[in-house]
Structure 1
Amino acid sequence: MKRILITGASSGIGLEAARLLACSGHPLTLLCRTPERGEQTRAHLLAGGATSSQVTCRVADLADLRSVQSACDQLLDRSEPLDALVLNAGQQRAGAAAPVWSPQGIEITFAVNQLAHQLIATRLLPLLRAGSQPRVVITASDVHNPATGGGRVGQSADLGDLSGLRAGAGFVRVDGHDRFDGDRAYKDSKLCNVLLGRELDRQLAGALPVIAWSPGLVIPRSPEGFFRHNRQSNPLGMALFAAVARDVLRVTESVPSAGRLLADLITDPGYAQAGFSYWSNRLVRPGVHRFSAAQTSAEGADMKKAGELWRLSEALIRRALASD
C-alpha cells in the first residue's frame, strides 16, 4: 500500500490512474483546482469503489502559487509521509496568440506546468523522504524533443539561455522572446518538466526513482480537463482535430491505457530503480503504441541548464510569493 499525492487527478489520465489506484487499496491525496472539482472527483472515485477514508481532496489551484503554498502548508502540518509524489497536472493553450497571466503575473502555461510542480516538490520533499520506498513521477511529453513527430510540428521546444526567466515575472517566453505561441509554450513547459526531474534527481543524489514520462497523444472525450482551453477557444477545430487523430489516423492513446501506465509507474516494482529515467509511450504504427525507456532530447539532458532552471524558478517563486 502506497500513500500517493497526485496533481491533475480530476480528469483524463490522472482520474483514471486515481481510480485504478483506489481500487487497489492505495490511500490518495488529490490536489484539485476548486472545492467543487474536489467534491466531483471524490464522488466519482467513491462511486467506483473507493472507500471514504481512502480519498482526500485538497484545494490547490496550480495557476496560483499562493494556493499551492497553502495546500503544501496544510499537508506539512499533518506530517503524513508520502510514498509517491505524482506531478501530473498540465494545461495547453494551442492556437492562443496572446499569453494569459497567473495571479502572480506569470505566463500561465509555465506557472501551472512547471512552477507549481517545482514548489510542490520542494515543499513536500520532507514528507517524501519519510515515505516507504518513495518515488516521484512527472508527466512530461515527447513534444519536448524536436526529434520526435510531435516535437517537429510547429515551433520546437528551446529554452535558449533562459533570459526570459532571468527577467522575472512578466516574461512571455522562457527564452526571452516576446512573440507568444500557445503550442510552443506547452512544448517549452514539457522540456522544463524533464529538466525538473533531472535536477531533482541530482539533489536527491540518485537515492530514489525520479521518473519522467510521455503518455502519447491522449484526447479525452470529456470537455473538461487538459484540452478544455483549446475547446473553449476553437471548439469546431478541436472537435475536427480529435476526430481525425483518434478515429481516422489512429495516432492517439486511450485514457484507460494511459491511465494504466501512470498507475503502474507509481506502484509497479518494475519501475523502482533509483535515479532519473524517461519513459515514452510511442506510436509504432496506427493504433499501436509501445511503452519503453527512451532518451530525452539533448537539451533535456543538459544538467547545467537543469540546475539554472531550478535556481531561477526558485527565485521567481520566492519573489512572487513575497510580493503577492
Structure 2
Amino acid sequence: MSNAFGSKSTTDDVLAGMDLSGKRVLVTGVSAGLGVETARALVAHGAHVVGAARNLAKAKEATAGIHAQAANGGQLDLIELDLASLQSVRSCADALLADGRPFDVVIANAGVMRTPFGHTADGFETQFGTNHLGHFVLVNRIASLIAPGGRLICLSSAGHRYSDVDLDDPNFERTPYDPSAAYGRSKTANILFAVEFDRRHNAQGVRAAAVHPGGIMTELGRHLAPGELEATVEKINAQSAAEGHPPFEFKSIPQGAATSVWAAFVANADDIGGRYTEDCQVSSVTDGLITPGTPGVRSYALDPERAQALWALSEKLVGERF
C-alpha cells in the first residue's frame, strides 16, 4: 500500500490528478462539515454525487458553492434522509431504487455525537439509532445498487475506544446513560457493520471499510458543554507530553475528509476491506494504552463474531432481514 499520504493530507492532495467522471457516489450528511467537503472534492474531480441530508434547505445552502467547482461533468444532486426515522430512511432507499442507477461508492458520513439522552422516531437510543441503525437499513436496502468493484465507506471515530457495543442493552434501558459511552458504542457499531458487510459482499467484488477522520472542529461537537472541548484537549496534551508525544492538533475539514476519499478511490480494495483506516492508512490493532490523538483500533471493533452478532441484533431491532 502506498504511504504517500498521511495526517496532513487534504482531499485535493489525495485526489490530485484523478478523473472521477462517470463515477457515482452517495454521501450522507451533506449539510455541514465533512459531508460538504467530501461532496465538493468528488464533484471537483468529475464525480456525480448524490448528497443526502435531513434538512434539504440547509444542505442546499451549504453546498451552493460546489457547482462552481465542478469539473469533467461533475454534479451534485440532493435527496432527503433523516437517519433518526426509519420511515425516512426507507423512503430515501425506495427513491434510489426506483431511480435504479448504480453507485460506485457509498459514503455513510452523517452522524451525531454525545447527544443528551433521547430516542429516535422508532424508539432507539439517539446515537445508536442514528449513527448505526439508520445507515444499516439504508445501505442494506440499496446494496444491490453498489456496482461490482464498488465500496462502502463507514465513518467511525477514535471514539470507538470509549466502549464496545452492548448487545444486551443497546438502548440504555438498564444501563445508566453516558453520552461518551453511547457515542463509543455507535462508532464501534459503524466499524463492525463494515466488517460484516465486507464479509457478505466481498465475493461480489464489493468491499467495505471504516474511517476515522481525525479530530476536527465541526458541528458534530455542538452538544459539548462550554469549555468541555478545551479541557479535554488540555488533558490529552498533558498525557501526550508525559509520554513524549507531540501535542494534539485539530485537522482542517479538508484534512478530515481526506481519508474518506482515499478509502473510496485511492487505497487498494484488498488492503482496506473489513479494516479500520485513519490518516490515509490502515490502522494497527492494539488493546494496550493508546494516547488520545494517536492511531490505533481496538480488537473488539474488528471481531468478526461480534460483527455477525450485531448484524443479527440490528435486523431484529429494525424488523428486516438482509
- TM-score bin (small chain): 0.7 to 0.9
> Per the alignment, in what secondary structure is the counterpart of residue 66 of structure 2?
helix
Deviations 1:205-259 (A, max 9, x none): 4533211121121123xxxx322333xxx3x325645886999944322211112
Equivalent position of 2:306 in the other structure: 305
Equivalent position of 1:40 in the other structure: 61
Distance of aligned partners of 1:127 and 1:55 in 2 relative to their CA distance in 1, 3 Å threshold: same
Distance of aligned partners of 1:272 and 1:114 in 2 relative to their CA distance in 1, 3 Å threshold: same
Q: How does 1:1-324 map to 2 (within 5 A)?
A: 1=20, 2-49=23-70, 54-93=75-114, 96=116, 99-128=117-146, 131=147, 133-144=149-160, 151=161, 156-160=162-166, 162-165=167-170, 171-172=171-172, 177-206=174-203, 207-220=205-218, 225-230=219-224, 234=225, 236-238=226-228, 240-241=230-231, 249-268=247-266, 270-273=267-270, 275-281=273-279, 291-295=281-285, 296-318=297-319
Structure 1: runs of 5+ lacking an equivalent:
145-150, 166-170, 282-289, 320-324
Distance of aligned partners of 1:291 and 1:302 in 2 relative to their CA distance in 1, 3 Å threshold: closer
Deviations 1:154-198 (A, max 9, x none): xx30334x1124xxxxx32xxx64200111100111111111011
> Per the alignment, in what secondary structure is the counterpart of residue 43 of structure 1?
coil
Q: Please state how far the C-alpha of 1:33 moved relative to its aligned partner.
A: 0.9
TM-score, scaled relative to structure 2: 0.78
Q: Is the 8 A contact 2:40 2:69 kept in 1?
A: yes
Equivalent position amino acid for 2:59 in 1 = G
Q: Is the 8 A contact 1:6 1:31 kept in 2?
A: yes
Report the more deviating stretch, 181-190 or 239-248.
Answer: 239-248
Q: Is the 8 A contact 1:19 1:48 kept in 2?
A: yes
> Per the alignment, in what secondary structure is the counterpart of residue 214 of structure 2?
coil
Deviations 1:66-104 (A, max 9, x none): 11110110000000001001111111126x4xx111111
RMSD: 2.7
Aligned pairs, number: 278
Q: Please state how far the C-alpha of 1:116 moved relative to its aligned partner.
A: 0.7
TM-score, scaled relative to structure 1: 0.78
